[in-house]
Every structure is written in structure tokens, then in C-alpha cells.
Amino acid sequence: MRKAKILATLGPASESRETLEAMLRAGLNAVRINMSHGTREEHEVRIRTARETAASLGIPLAVLVDLSGPKIRTRGLKDGKGVMLEEGQRFTITTRDVEGTQDEVSTNFDHLPASVGPGSRVLIDDGAIELTVEKTTDTDVVTRCVTGGKLLERKGINLPHTPLPIPSLTDKDRADLEWAMGQNVDYIALSFVRTAADCKEVKDLIKQLNKRHLGRALLVAKIEKAEAIENLDEIIQETDGVMVARGDLGVETSVELVPVYQKRIIEKAVANDRFVITATQMLQSMIEAPTPTRAEASDVANAVWDGSDAVMLSAETASGKYPVESIKTMARIIDSAESLKSEYQSPVKLGLAPSGRTSQALCKAAASAAAEMQTDKVAVFTESG
């Protein structure tokens, strides 16, 4: 029986009943609804279709709603066409309402000129384009292009190591959270968490909006900012689970640190009885190809060996050409990884110190009893999931 679960993002490529049925049969355990794209009406249909399909097959299915968070983006471009930015050229990001060109583009973040200064790094489209700030005005950020590339409309802007005067929970997030609780979803993922206070605010809202008789939706803190790494211990104490959101984490810090942070996040979460989802570009090549690269297969396996409770697919299933094959491939890799004999695996560190929680005591006792009895199966009865 596969232990690590598969979480897949729903989108145009995976919203039909036929595709969902094939994905469920292939090993899908949970679906992710990305509130950064699509409308609530579209997402409601997807949730209903996924649940009905799973029920018809007798397969349990969880639903996770991923809140957008305060994502800074560029705005539109002239005629909707991308523009090429060349290394060494000047480029302006402005809060003025302009039609984007090769020389300037608008942003949705009105505080950008006040948030950066000469020498600040500005990354666009997950770091594909890098700019360095030369000067600012009341409305403009004038930059020099360090790494060029094609700029498309509404791409994300990252400001590594720059504190931003914006809350982790936006007005849109609040409205989306209320809608999600009305859908009786199982998990809420909070984007761009910086402190434990961010988690507490959302956790309190979940409790207020909860419509269940037993239990509530669980909070997933997405670790994707340098501030979250600095405050990791406090965040873990305040959340139910964490997501290693490697995309923005690699842009907000640096790509070579992502594997280090992944292991650190997972180890601390497991030691504190928090579940872990490892995400982003796990089978990225399968957006266009029917098979993964060898490096991707190793990446998924290592996430499992690190102690991930679930691994996530994003564009692979939301908009890729091979959503069903992606699920099948991930299930096979997990099965293979979990077949490795325990003596060859690095032991997962459980419970750094007694917590005083009944749940932790029971789990430790069950694990100890299973090891003593040399059994690999433990039945758990729960009213809340």
C-alpha cells in the first residue's frame, strides 16, 4: 500500500469526468484548487465533478484550496504580445496605468517604488528575467536588465530579501476562504507566509467559518519566502502542515539552497507531527512529454525518502498534455521509492521532545508496538479524519 499521497492541481486539462476517473484509478488522492487562476464558479464545478467521480468509484478524495496571496505581477502589454528584454537595456516598472512595451510595464503593486532602492534585485517570471534597480521616483522603478528574456503579460515579480508592507492575507483571499469553507474543503493552503501570526489569523478564520460537526479544514503553510525560513520553528507550531513551495522559494532565496531548505523543513515538520507536501516542478517535463526525466524521477523519490507525506503536481495535471500519465508515473516512482529496504533509508526523526499531546503519545506508542510486533500495518479509527 502506497504511503506517500499524490496531490494534483485541477485545470482545463483535468476537469472532465473521464480524465478524473482515469486519474483516480491511477492513484490520485487529493486535488488542488489554485485560486490564482480561474473563477469561483469554474472551481465549484471542478470540485463537484471530482467528488462525484470519486464517490462513484468508491475512492476517498480530499480537496485543497490554495489561496493566491499577495502576488506582485506585471500588467498588460500592447496588443497582448510578449516583448524581448535585452541584457544591459534600461527598463521601467511603473505604477502608472500604461500599455506595456519593450521600455516599460505597469505593476499591480502601488508600493513598489517605496519598497526598493538602488541595487535592489527584481526578478520576473520565476527569475527568468533579472533586473537591478538604478533609481526610483514616486511612480517609477528604473532598472537595468541583468538577464534578458521574453516578457509576457501578468508575470510574477519577486523582490528577494525585500520586506514588503503588505499582509499575507489579501481581501481576495478572505473572500476566497469564505467561499472555500462553504464548499466544505479539507485543506486551506496559505501563500507567502512570513510569520506564525499569519497562520494564526487564517486558522482563527477557518474555525469561525467552519461548518463541520466534527473537525475542520486543516491549514497548510506554504514555505516560500526567506522570512518563513527564518521563522520556521514558530510557523510549524501554529500550522497543521507545511508545503515546501520550491518555485517561489528558489526565487526568493537562491536555487542552490532549495534542496537544503527542503530537508530542513521536512525534518522539522515531521519532528513536530506536522504533515508535509513537497511541490513544484516535480515532473515538469511531462507538461509536454509522456515520460519524465531521470532527474525528475530521482527528485520525487528523494522527496519521499526525506519524509514527505504527499507530493504535488501543478501544471503537469492542470494544463499539461499528459495528466493521467503524470499520475501513473508519480505513483510508480513512489512505489519504487517505498520498496527500498528500511536499513538503507535515513531514519525519519520523530518527536524531538515530549509535547504533552495525547495524539503524539498514541502515535509513538503505535509505532513502537508495530516495530516490536514486526508488522507494517496499523489500523487507525478517527471521527475527524
Average pLDDT, the chain: 93
Q: What is the pLDDT of residues 228-283, one digit of tens each?
A: 999 999 999 999 999 999 999 999 999 999 999 999 999 999 999 999 999 999 99
Catalytic residue among 5, 19, 32, 239: 32
- Higher confidence at residue 90 or residue 164? 90
Catalytic residue among 253, 280, 317, 329: 280
- Three-state SS for 136? strand
CA-CA-CA-CA torsion sign (41, 42, 43, 44): positive
- 362 has a pLDDT exceeding 90: no
Question: pLDDT grade, residue 221 (50/70/90)?
Answer: very high
Residue for grid cell 514527505? 308
Q: Which amino acid is at 159?
A: L
**Mean predicted confidence (pLDDT) in 51-63:** 98
- 351 has a pLDDT exceeding 60: no
Q: Domain locations in the chain? A: 5-69+167-344, 72-158
Single pTM value for the model: 0.87
291 is catalytic: no
CATH no. of 72-158:
2.40.33.10
Q: Other CB atoms closer than 10 Å to residue 367's CB: what's the count? A: 13
pLDDT value for 215: 87
**Mean predicted confidence (pLDDT) in 55-67:** 98
96 is catalytic: no
**Mean predicted confidence (pLDDT) in 102-109:** 96
Question: pLDDT grade, residue 100 (50/70/90)?
Answer: very high
Question: pLDDT grade, residue 342 (50/70/90)?
Answer: low
CB 222 within 8 A of CB 243: yes
Same fold, 5-69+167-344 and 72-158: no
- 293 has a pLDDT exceeding 60: yes
Question: pLDDT grade, residue 384 (50/70/90)?
Answer: low
Radius of gyration of the chain (CA): 22
pLDDT value for 300: 98
pLDDT more than 90, % of the chain: 81
- 382 has a pLDDT exceeding 80: no
Question: pLDDT grade, residue 378 (50/70/90)?
Answer: confident
Q: Which amino acid is at 295?
A: A
- 350 has a pLDDT exceeding 90: no
Q: What is the pLDDT of residues 62-81, one digit of tens each?
A: 999 999 998 899 999 999 99
137 is catalytic: no
Catalytic residue among 40, 51, 73, 332: 73
Catalytic residue among 155, 222, 274, 328: 222
Return the closest-CA partner of residue 122 out of 164, 80, 82, 81: 164
CB 262 within 8 A of CB 226: no
222 is catalytic: yes
Which CATH number fits the domain 5-69+167-344, given the four candidates 3.20.20.60, 2.130.10.10, 3.30.565.10, 3.40.605.10? Answer: 3.20.20.60
